[in-house]
């Protein structure tokens, strides 16, 4: 492993160590207008951007999320703390999931826990999930280093001028295969996720249709 390679992998591991999420206590207690929402998200999630000019969230994105049923409409053009929590979920999901899949995941949660008076609410779900993910960082770092070491042993007989590139190519292929398999698994789980109340509703709808269908 060359000095440049060591620097690169160390830089990646340091970046993973700095991965953080927006804590509920960092969310404003007062509703925000759209411009304030985009500014807040940009400030809090800027470390996750690949390029400086990339946008975390735009007005068009927010409008599209609302249009597609991912985000409840604002009240008097203002977005609540719960709106922000949903936007954070959407921000992370949209990199790997389709709009339909995100809707399947979030709709039952939004219907039951968005702006509820119960103690178990959207904030509770958010804290549980992101707290769990944060605890996985050390495991992720070890797994990443293991995969890198595997890739580092490939193409030992390749031309010296191509070896470094081909080993990086191997590393990317290993990571891509891992992402591909996990994406397939996520999609399979989502395809099987039919909330109980939706199932009952469909069964009731079928019964009503059969009752109303004239006998031939």
For residue range 51-104, list pLDDT tens digits in order: 889 999 999 999 999 988 899 999 999 999 999 999 999 999 998 999 999 999
Say if CB 24 and CB 127 are below 8 A apart: yes
CA dist 68 → 59, 64, 132 (Å): 14, 6, 29
pLDDT for the residue numbered 197: 53
What are the respective helix, strand and coil percentages of the chain, to the nearest 5?
70, 0, 30
Confidence of residue 203 (pLDDT cuts 50, 70, 90): very low
Q: Using an 8 Å Cβ cutoff, are 122 and 114 in contact?
A: yes
Residue 206 pLDDT > 70? no
The fraction of the chain above a pLDDT of 90, given in percent, is 57
Query: What pLDDT is stored for residue 8 in this prediction?
Result: 73
Mean pLDDT score across all residues of the chain: 84
Band (pLDDT 50/70/90 cuts) for residue 18 is low
pTM of the model: 0.80
Q: What b/e sequence results for 104-126 when a residue is b if at least 16 CB atoms lie within 10 Å of its CB, and e otherwise?
A: bbbeebbeebbeeeeeebbbeeb
Residue 211 CA to residue 188 CA, distance in Å, equals 34
């Amino acid at each position: 492993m060359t000095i440049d390679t060591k620097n690169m992998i160390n830089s990646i591991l340091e970046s993973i160590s700095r991965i953080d999420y927006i804590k509920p206590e960092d969310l404003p207690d007062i509703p925000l207008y759209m411009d304030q929402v985009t500014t807040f998200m940009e400030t809090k999630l800027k470390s996750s951007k690949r390029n400086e000019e990339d946008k975390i969230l735009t007005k068009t994105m927010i409008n599209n999320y609302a249009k597609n049923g991912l985000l409840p409409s604002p009240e008097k053009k203002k977005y609540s703390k719960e709106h922000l929590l949903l936007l954070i979920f959407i921000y992370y999901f949209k990199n790997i999931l389709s709009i339909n899949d995100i809707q399947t995941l979030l709709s039952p949660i939004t219907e039951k826990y968005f702006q509820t008076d119960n103690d178990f609410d959207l904030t509770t779900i958010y804290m549980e999930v992101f707290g769990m993910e944060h605890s996985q960082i050390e495991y992720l770092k070890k797994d990443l280093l293991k995969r890198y070491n595997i890739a580092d042993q490939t193409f030992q007989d390749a031309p010296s001028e191509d070896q470094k590139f081909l080993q990086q190519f191997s590393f990317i292929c290993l990571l891509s295969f891992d992402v591909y398999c996990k994406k397939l698994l996520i999609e399979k789980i989502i395809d099987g996720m039919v909330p109980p109340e939706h199932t009952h509703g469909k069964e009731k709808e079928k019964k009503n249709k059969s009752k109303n269908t004239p006998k031939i």
